[in-house]
Amino acid sequence: MMKRILVADDEPGIANPISYAFRKEGYEVITVYDGQAALDTALSFHPHIIVLDVMMPKLTGYEVCRKLDNRANMGIILLTVKNDIVDKIVGLEMGADDYMTKPFDLRELIARAKALLRRLEKREPETADTIIADPLTIHLKLRTVLVNQQSVELTPKEFDLLALLFSHPERVYTRDELLDTVWGMDYATGTRTVDIHMQRLRKKLGEAGQRMLLTVFGVGYKAVGIER
């Protein structure tokens, strides 16, 4: 199946060459030039990857990320002229998978998109569609989570962390391993990103999160209480 790419940048001189490069690689591409069009097209076109500029009219790239919080496996690569560590953290916290600072080499963007596609394909374990760890029920294909049969809204990264940990119960993951597996690269933002997501997960899952998502001090995190 041909992979779908959405390119969103308000500068045609940037968006159009990106789109052309992806088409040459054999992808199906749609190009838009503002944030609202990016959001609307993402919801109808269902791209595998969104190449998303941060500073756009109508909606910023950050706002588009936030409004796509409940997306399925849809990877996002943010583009920006900024190179501040805070901006990178904001993008990743909003659900972006990768981050590139302008100007950049188109060959590197294509390579990162291909790597992200591979990660997305591997993200869901094939051995089971559902993981039960009472009172949690994790539906891997639907990307939904229930606690005591009540739905809990998670961001894409929160879901990926939870699914990874409970797919390998009792295994201790270092923060670097979680960064590499879920975010896909050694981000300059450091392991604080993982800690923030784990804190949010525990809060959203309530008592179950506090009891079942454990910190292994000096190492990382693990999940306990599985009933596959």
pLDDT for the residue numbered 128: 58
Quote the pLDDT of residue 190. Answer: 64
112-159 tens-digit pLDDT: 999 888 887 765 444 458 888 889 999 888 889 999 889 999 888 899
Query: pLDDT tens digits, residue range 32-73?
Result: 999 999 999 998 888 999 999 999 999 999 899 888 865 657
User: Of 75, 90, 122, which residue constitutes the final position of a domain?
Assistant: 122
**Confidence tier at 108 by pLDDT (50, 70, 90):** very high
Q: Is the pLDDT of residue 184 over 80?
A: no
Whether residue 158 sits in one domain with residue 91: no
140 and 99 belong to one structural domain = no
Q: Helices 156-167 and 192-205: crossing angle, nearest 10°?
A: 90
Q: Residue 74 — very low, low, confident or very high, per pLDDT cuts 50/70/90?
A: confident
Domain boundary among 122, 141, 165: 122
Residues 109 and 211 in one domain: no
Q: Looking at the structure, do residues 17 and 112 belong to the same domain, yes or no?
A: yes
Q: What is the pLDDT of residue 71?
A: 63
Please check whether residues 118 and 145 belong to one and the same domain. no
Residue at 153 is within a domain: yes
Residues 81 and 40 in one domain: yes
Instruction: Say if residue 162's pLDDT is above 90.
Output: yes
Structural domains of the chain, count: 2
State whether 13 and 47 are in the same domain.
yes
Q: Supply the pLDDT for residue 14.
A: 94
Model confidence at 99, in pLDDT bands (50, 70, 90)?
confident
Predicted local distance difference test score (pLDDT) of residue 39 = 92
Assess if residue 228 is contained within a domain: no
In a domain, 70, yes or no: yes
Please check whether residue 189 lies inside any domain of the structure.
yes
Q: Is 157 left (phi over 0), alpha (psi -120 to 50) or beta?
A: alpha
CATH number at residue 38: 3.40.50.2300
| pLDDT given at position 31 | 96
- Residue that finishes a domain, picked among 84, 103, 122: 122
Q: Give the CATH number, domain containing residue 153.
A: 1.10.10.10
Q: Do residue 102 and residue 157 come from a single domain?
A: no
Q: What is the DSSP letter of 172?
A: P
In a domain, 36, yes or no: yes
- In which domain, by residue range, is 98 found? 4-122
Q: Domain check: are 23 and 89 in the same one?
A: yes
168 phi/psi in degrees, rounded to 5: -135, 65
pTM of the predicted model over 0.85:
no
**Same domain flag for 12 and 102:** yes
Residue 182 lies in a domain: yes
Give a yes or no: residue 21 inside a domain.
yes
Q: Are residues 155 and 192 in the same domain?
A: yes
Per-residue model confidence (pLDDT) at position 23: 94
Give residue 102's Cα distance to chain centre: 21
- Give the separation between CA 150 and CA 147, rounded to whole angstroms: 5
Rounded to the nearest 5 degrees, what angle is found at the Cα of 187, between the Cα atoms of 183 and 188? 160
pLDDT band at 228 (very low <50, low <70, confident <90, very high): very low
Would you say residue 174 lies in a domain?
yes
pLDDT tier, 27 (very low <50, low <70, confident <90, very high otherwise): very high
Q: How confident is the model at residue 1 (pLDDT cuts 50, 70, 90)?
A: low
- Round to whole Å and give the CA distance between 111 and 80: 18
Does 201 lie in the same domain as 168?
A: yes
